[in-house]
Amino acid sequence: MVNRILQKRDEIRPARDSAQGAFEHFAATAKEFRAYLDRMAEGNERLLRDGEALVDEESAAVPVDLARFVTFAHGPGWTNAPVDVQLNRDDVRALRELSQLAHEIRARLPEDRRFARLLRRGKEWKTPHELQWLSEPDDDLPDPGSVLAAMVAVPFQRSAARHRWRLLQSEYNGVLAAVRALRPRLETFTFSSLWLVLAALFACGLVAPLFYLTARPSSSSRAWLLWTFIPIAALFLLFMLAEILRVRRAIDLKRPYW
């Protein structure tokens, strides 16, 4: 039985390693997306708040370096050269609206442990109700024609946000497919049943009778047998139980598999 458990663990290792590799790649992509949203939500607002793009009541427009801003369609490092433009009040309002959208998405993007829990349960990752606009079909929007126009065109930016969100969901669905293919191979009902039978045999066939055995007068043979056998039997059962649980827990991709 022990040999079969170890053999099963080795059998599922390739599929499990493949699923874990896919999950680690997805987790890295999600981490990058979180950092991207943080940069967009906080960095843009900081630039606006610090006055570099702040349009007050006396100014019609303010010159800024647009290369320092991040939007859904313009990731960090989208250009290495300065992009000097004039921002008016409507432009600032649009950039702030996009920063708020990024903050809302970031607040509802699960952490890795939440993703791992969903995968362990075989559940899909659904778009939160508050962000249902990310699941709406894209409009066929034309290219705004310039970098500034693209950055402050909220419908265009929302379409870019949908695209990024769907790419992440698509990668999650790929990991979910790998986990669902792995799950049937982790069934341990037979092993668990055999373990219970073996535990009952140890308890009823060996441990309990030892308590009723008579010993020679002035001899501690029974106590010696009891307290020698019970720990050894317990360790054996614990070892098998640990191996069975290790196979069953292979579905948790946050845990190492060894």
Q: What pLDDT, on the 0 to 100 scale, is given for residue 222?
A: 64
- Is the pLDDT at 219 greater than 60, yes or no? no
Q: Which of 41, 138, 49, 50 is nearest to 97 (CA)?
A: 41
Report the range of poorest mean pLDDT among 77-81, 153-157, 162-166, 245-249. 245-249
Q: What pLDDT, on the 0 to 100 scale, is given for residue 68?
A: 83
Report the range of poorest mean pLDDT among 91-105, 177-191, 240-254. 240-254
Within a 10 A sphere around the Cβ of 56, how many other Cβ atoms?
Answer: 8
Amino acid at 146: S
pLDDT band at residue 175 under the 50/70/90 scheme:
very high
> Which whole-number Å values give the CA distances from 214 to 152, 159, 225, in the listed order?
91, 83, 12
Q: Which of 80, 78, 44 is nearest to 64 (CA)?
A: 44
Q: What pLDDT, on the 0 to 100 scale, is given for residue 171?
A: 95
Mean model confidence pLDDT for the chain = 79
Q: What pLDDT, on the 0 to 100 scale, is given for residue 247?
A: 67
Q: What pLDDT, on the 0 to 100 scale, is given for residue 53?
A: 57
Cα 169 from Cα 90, distance rounded (Å) = 33
Phi and psi at 65, nearest 5°, equal -95, 105
Which residue ranges make up each domain of the chain? 16-184, 187-251
E strand intervals along the chain: 62-65, 84-87
Degrees (nearest 5) of the Cα angle 217, 219, 221? 125
- Is the pLDDT at 257 greater than 60, yes or no? no
pLDDT band at residue 5 under the 50/70/90 scheme:
low
In this predicted model, what pLDDT tens digit does every residue of 89-136 receive, in sequence order?
A: 888 888 889 999 999 999 999 999 999 999 988 899 999 999 999 988
Q: Who wins on pLDDT, 166 or 140? A: 166
In this predicted model, what pLDDT tens digit does every residue of 70-84 receive, in sequence order?
A: 888 888 777 888 888
Q: Who wins on pLDDT, 232 or 18? A: 18
Q: What pLDDT, on the 0 to 100 scale, is given for residue 63?
A: 76
In this predicted model, what pLDDT tens digit does every residue of 7-63 receive, in sequence order?
A: 666 677 788 888 889 999 999 999 999 999 998 888 888 877 766 556 554 566 777
Q: What pLDDT, on the 0 to 100 scale, is given for residue 69?
A: 86
pLDDT band at residue 167 under the 50/70/90 scheme:
very high
pLDDT band at residue 194 under the 50/70/90 scheme:
low
Cα 179 from Cα 202, distance rounded (Å) = 36
pLDDT band at residue 241 under the 50/70/90 scheme:
confident
